Structure 1
Amino acid sequence: MTQLSRRAALALPAALALPALARAQSAATEITVHYAQPNIYKESYDAILAGFNKREPGIRVNFVTTPNYEEGAQLLLRQAATNQLPDLSYQGFNRLRMFAERGVAQDLLPLLKQEAADPATLGYSENLLKLAYFGNMQAGLAYAASNPICYYNADLVKRAGGDPDNFPKDWDGVLALAAKIDALGDGVDGLWYTWNGDDWMFSALLFGHGGRMLNENETDVAFAGPEGMASLKLLERMVKQAGMPNLTAVAARQAFAAGKIGMLFQTTALVRGTAAAVGNNFVLRTTGMPVIDAERGRLPTGGAAGMLTAKDPAKRAAAMKFLRYSTGPEGQAMMVKASGYLPCNQIAIDDPQYLGEFYRENPLFVASVKQLPISIPWYAFPGTNSVRVTQTMVDNMARIVESRATPEQVLPEMAAEIRRLLPRRS
């Protein structure tokens, strides 16, 4: 009978375990997860993936990214046509409707109710669910929410004679201060407003005036009236009165971080990245968007929601687990701390163990939280041309920023172009 040495005997259990480990690894469920804007989101998704891997070692996640929401939507439209969809996609709120109406998104409510009869007990309050409810179904679960805020250079505000502790509350005051900053010279500009990219920041002006994109039955544009005209005139004043330069978003953020722009109006999602870029160059502050209509004024809620697209049962279950973790209280706390977005899980919001101390220690993140009472969902255009509608708005705003046309010329032409892109109603 063959005798084993003591060392060999001790090594035997580990050796026997290796094939089992290999089998377990090979049996891991592999899923593909898409998200947009890695320049903003990567840190949060990486943190969530690390936490998820510890909880679900049998699921392997492969990320696919696109530079922005629009390219993310176009990617999924192409992949849907060739049956090559990812298993889970985080889409901008305003694109979920299109995927719900096309049958690409899956209804998540039955899956949530398998865990709890009332999704609110999982942190998905009614208002949070509404952010991703389209096509008479729960087309997604909100992952990150944002509203537009103002970032300002406290040093330039002081140099221009302003008070950083008493920043103007209305656009007249903001533009007057921006004009003084612009007059400082030395290549300094007064402000930059994120007008390019999509329709979100235009809707911030439109909703701020109490306007809306389409009429109630969505048969015609509703922005072609006084509220839309006032919004475009305000954009024109930013250029003519406050010296807003014609820059890309990337160039504007770089100039602001270098101390060459006094105010930057953009999503709260960029708080973390902006603070890192500014460093010690100057004292950075944030505040809410100026009030336009105190009673009717609202702000759009930007951000993304996870949309389930997997058809294979095992991948579908695995993708749902990742989605639940990323939108659960633990994942949401990671997301907020890594970005600047607002949390989309009520437990993360209410339970101080997740974010209470964080907000006390990070005042730059608080401006967006204070605007939650006037934040409404980002409008999603009906039909298959929603991406083209957005680009039409951007192209027409460019005419004003580049001083190629007046608001009086742009508004009726923009309305006519978008009317042609709306679904035909019988």
Structure 2
Amino acid sequence: MKYLLPLAASAMLLAPAAYAVDIEVAYAYSSVFDPTFERIMEAFETAHPDIHVTFRATYEDYEDATNTILREAVADTLPDVSFQALNRQALLVERGIAKPLDPYIAEEEGFETAGYHKAMLDLSSFDGQIYGLPFSVSTPIGFYNMDILRAAGVETIPTTWDEVVETCRAINAKGEHDAIFWHWDISGNWLLQAAMWSQGVPMIEDGKLNMDNPEGVRALETAKAIFHECAMKPVSGGDASKQFAAGDLGMFFSSTAYVGFVDRSKLGDWDFVTAPYPGIDDAPKALPAGGNSAMLTSTSDDPEVLEAAWQFIKFTTSGEGAAAVALTTGYVPPNKVANDLLMDNFYAENPNKLTAVNQLPLLSEWFAYPGDNGLAVTQVIEDSLESILVGDADDMEELRDEMVDEVNALLPH
């Protein structure tokens, strides 16, 4: 079991000496969401002074979140509330770890008008029941240091990956900065799924890996071009985001979630711009929806604990909670009421956060690989991408065939 940690010392100092009920909460990506929960807790403690929230050590990423909660389920040490990736919810439902929220929703007068987008609720609905409330929704976007691009003679933001590669060459020719990081190992093979969806092709079809086609080869060839023709360094996404914020990286392709981090961490007076995610040949036909939802995972029999956990889930995903997400990250608020709480000119003053909002019409499914081997499938695909990155794989059609065979052998028959 992970150690229990308070989110912030200030929250401890402001907390009352005694509480009616205690709950435990866990979420992923400390660098992204710590400021969000600090803001939320200031309001939550005022609204619910009788509830004490202890935050467990942050999950490193969404795979860690799922692996951790599966272990905790066996050890009977589950948190009361867990924030899990949208594409991992089904596994927790199938294992009986997540509990349906419908009984609590039924007690909420006017819940259907509480601002929750039906399309967002549908992302967390299984067999006619709601198992999670959406907390954050993201799309992949491009981050650009326009000072570096202009110094390399590039005045126009690239819109296709071929144009991205040409921009890389121009930046590398200057020899003053690294050109690019494409977050290839981000959770759930998200950007490879984006490469498939960009071509209008789903990553999973009929329960199988749907890359045994020309689009699958093209997706891997695009990754190869980014890695090698752009001379991309094999660093972590976290290190790359810091390098970008420091003004030493020309282009960074990842989740809109990092907009808030870059805004907070940006060093120097350089021109930071976000833009729509590049496509293969032309604009993307679709993109996978990223993000996470709040799920009730408590094993408590105490109705007060369960009610407190529900109040926390409801508050964090409400208009106020969703507004905090928008203010502190680059995520899109999944609750319509948040837009009323944000200042009218919020996106006018924060145009880098508008990019993801404009891409919402492209949102498509972020696939979870079915069956008990879903996490293993994620790793197989990540290992295949890494083999391109380090130069162990050169023939993309051969690699595609090996990956499809290995993945489909792990999927349910």
When normalised by structure 2's length, the TM-score is 0.90
State the alpha-carbon separation in 2 of the partners of residues 120 and 29 from structure 1: 28
Match of 2:193 among 203, 206, 209: 203
Structure 1, 140-149 or 294-303: larger mean CA deviation: 294-303
Match of 2:294 among 301, 306, 312: 306
State the alpha-carbon separation in 2 of the partners of residues 202 and 251 from structure 1: 20
Q: 1:355 to 1:341 in 2, by over 3 A?
A: farther
Residue 229 (structure 1) shift: 1.1
Q: Hey, what does 1:344 align to over in structure 2?
A: 334
- Structure 2: give runs of 5+ residues left out of the alignment: 1-15
State the alpha-carbon separation in 2 of the partners of residues 410 and 277 from structure 1: 38
Q: Hey, what does 2:182 align to over in structure 1?
A: 193
State the alpha-carbon separation in 2 of the partners of residues 79 and 153 from structure 1: 42
C-alpha deviations, 1:42-76, integer Å up to 9, x for none? Answer: 11011111110000101110001211111111111
Residue 411 (structure 1) shift: 1.0
Q: 1:294 to 1:156 in 2, by over 3 A?
A: closer
Structure 1, 43-52 or 26-35: larger mean CA deviation: 26-35
Letter matched to residue 423 of structure 1: P
Does 1:162 pair with 2:154? Answer: yes
State the alpha-carbon separation in 2 of the partners of residues 412 and 211 from structure 1: 17
Residue 276 (structure 1) shift: 2.7
Letter matched to residue 157 of structure 1: L
CA contact (8 A) 2:144 2:250 kept: yes
Q: Hey, what does 1:94 align to over in structure 2?
A: 87
C-alpha deviations, 1:382-403, integer Å up to 9, x for none? Answer: 2122111111111110011111
C-alpha deviations, 1:342-390, integer Å up to 9, x for none? Answer: 10102223x2x42532212111111111101101232122212211111
Within a 5 Å distance, the mapping from 1:131-146 to structure 2 comes to 131-134=123-126, 136-146=128-138
Letter matched to residue 141 of structure 2: I
Within a 5 Å distance, the mapping from 1:166-185 to structure 2 comes to 166-185=156-175
Letter matched to residue 165 of structure 2: L
Residue 34 (structure 1) shift: 0.9
C-alpha deviations, 1:106-154, integer Å up to 9, x for none? Answer: 111332232146x430111211102222354312111011111111111
Letter matched to residue 94 of structure 1: N
C-alpha deviations, 1:254-305, integer Å up to 9, x for none? Answer: 3323333210001110101112332325211111101337687211111110
CA contact (8 A) 2:276 2:356 kept: yes
Q: Hey, what does 2:236 align to over in structure 1?
A: 248
CA contact (8 A) 1:194 1:265 kept: yes
Q: Hey, what does 1:260 align to over in structure 2?
A: 248
Q: Hey, what does 2:398 align to over in structure 1?
A: 409
CA contact (8 A) 2:165 2:226 kept: yes
Q: Hey, what does 2:319 align to over in structure 1?
A: 329
Q: 1:25 to 1:252 in 2, by over 3 A?
A: closer
Q: Hey, what does 1:283 align to over in structure 2?
A: 271
Q: Hey, what does 1:60 align to over in structure 2?
A: 52
Residue 98 (structure 1) shift: 0.3
CA contact (8 A) 1:210 1:227 kept: no
Higher Cα radius of gyration: 1
Q: Hey, what does 2:42 align to over in structure 1?
A: 50
Aligned to 2:22, what secondary structure does the other structure show?
A: strand
Aligned to 1:183, what secondary structure does the other structure show?
A: helix
Structure 1, 239-248 or 148-157: larger mean CA deviation: 239-248
Q: 1:295 to 1:242 in 2, by over 3 A?
A: closer
Identity within the alignment, %: 33
C-alpha deviations, 1:185-234, integer Å up to 9, x for none? Answer: 13x2221100014311111111111121221x31x221221221111100
Runs of 4+ in 1 over 4 A off after TM superposition: 24-27, 293-296
Letter matched to residue 388 of structure 1: A
When normalised by structure 1's length, the TM-score is 0.88
CA contact (8 A) 1:148 1:268 kept: yes
Q: Hey, what does 1:106 align to over in structure 2?
A: 99
Q: What is the Cα-based RMSD across aligned positions, in Å?
A: 1.8
Q: Hey, what does 1:380 align to over in structure 2?
A: 368
Aligned to 1:115, what secondary structure does the other structure show?
A: coil
Q: 1:414 to 1:362 in 2, by over 3 A?
A: same
- Structure 1: give runs of 5+ residues left out of the alignment: 1-23
Q: Hey, what does 2:145 align to over in structure 1?
A: 153
Q: Hey, what does 2:24 align to over in structure 1?
A: 32
State the alpha-carbon separation in 1 of the partners of residues 210 and 268 from structure 2: 45
Q: 1:101 to 1:136 in 2, by over 3 A?
A: farther
Equivalent pairs counted in the alignment come to 393
Residue 239 (structure 1) shift: 2.1
Letter matched to residue 389 of structure 2: V
Aligned to 1:36, what secondary structure does the other structure show?
A: coil
Match of 1:394 among 382, 391, 405: 382
Q: Hey, what does 2:204 align to over in structure 1?
A: 214
